[in-house]
Amino acid sequence: MKVSVGKDFPKLINVFIEIPMGSNVKYEYDEEEEVVKVDRVLYTSMVYPFNYGFVPGTKADDGDPIDVLVISNMPFYPGTVVEARPVGMIRMTDEEGVDTKIIAVPKDKIDPTFSNIREITDIPDALKNKMVHFFEHYKELEPGKWVKISGWGTSSEAMENIKKAMKS
As a dihedral over the C-alpha atoms of residue 100, residue 105, residue 110, residue 116, rounded to 10 degrees, the angle is -160
Binding site annotation covers 67? yes
For the chain, the residue count is 168
Binding site annotation covers 43? no
The residues, ordered by sequence, that sit 6+ positions from 107 with a Cβ below 8 Å of its Cβ are 12, 83, 84, 85
d(CA 27, CA 37): 5
Binding site annotation covers 62? yes
The residues, ordered by sequence, that sit 6+ positions from 116 with a Cβ below 8 Å of its Cβ are 122
Helices (H) and strands (E) in the chain, counts: 2, 9
d(CA 70, CA 15): 8
In order, the DSSP letters of 128-158 are HHHHHHHHHHTTTTSTT--EEEEEEE-HHHH
Residue stretches of the annotated binding site for Mg(2+): 62, 67, 99
Annotated binding-site residue numbers for substrate? 26, 40, 52, 138
Annotated binding residues, written as ranges, equal: 26, 40, 52, 62, 67, 99, 138
